[in-house]
Amino acid sequence: MDYNDIIVKPVLSEKSTEFAEQGKYVFRVAKKANKPLIRKAIKELFNVTAEKINISNVRGRKKRVRYQYGFTPSWKKAVITLKAGEKIQLFENQ
């Protein structure tokens, strides 16, 4: 699995921007990714060291489409805490 396939995209929300000020970054990751794979991918893609990684599965929500109900897809979320003094430039507002 390629490192770009492990880290799908960053999650940009109010809560994730508050986390970024604390040195925590939120990413959408592949469903089969585990903590060691995510740690290696963060190291290779952003050249920073992950101190702690928390993973959670986000369930799909029920959505109504015209006359019937459907579900949004489930996905996996990773909250990555970096060592003190390190930042990911992707989240910085410049």
Over the stretch 35-77, which tens digit does the pLDDT of each residue have?
999 999 999 999 999 999 999 999 999 999 889 999 999 999 9
Q: Would you list the domain boundaries of the chain?
A: 3-86
**Percent of the chain that is helix, strand, coil (3-state, to 5):** 30, 35, 35
Of residues 90 and 40, more confidence is placed in: 40
Q: Is the pLDDT of residue 23 over 70?
A: yes
Q: What is the mean pLDDT of residues 83-94?
A: 78
Pick the CATH number of 3-86 from 1.20.210.10, 3.40.50.170, 3.30.70.330, 3.30.1280.10: 3.30.70.330
Q: Is the pLDDT of residue 91 over 50?
A: yes
3-state secondary structure (DSSP) of residue 77: strand
Please give the C-alpha separations between residue 63 and each of 58, 60, 91, in angstroms, as whole numbers. Answer: 15, 9, 30
For residue 50, how many other CB atoms are within 10 A of its CB? 20
Q: Within the chain, what is the greatest distance between any pair of CA atoms?
A: 52
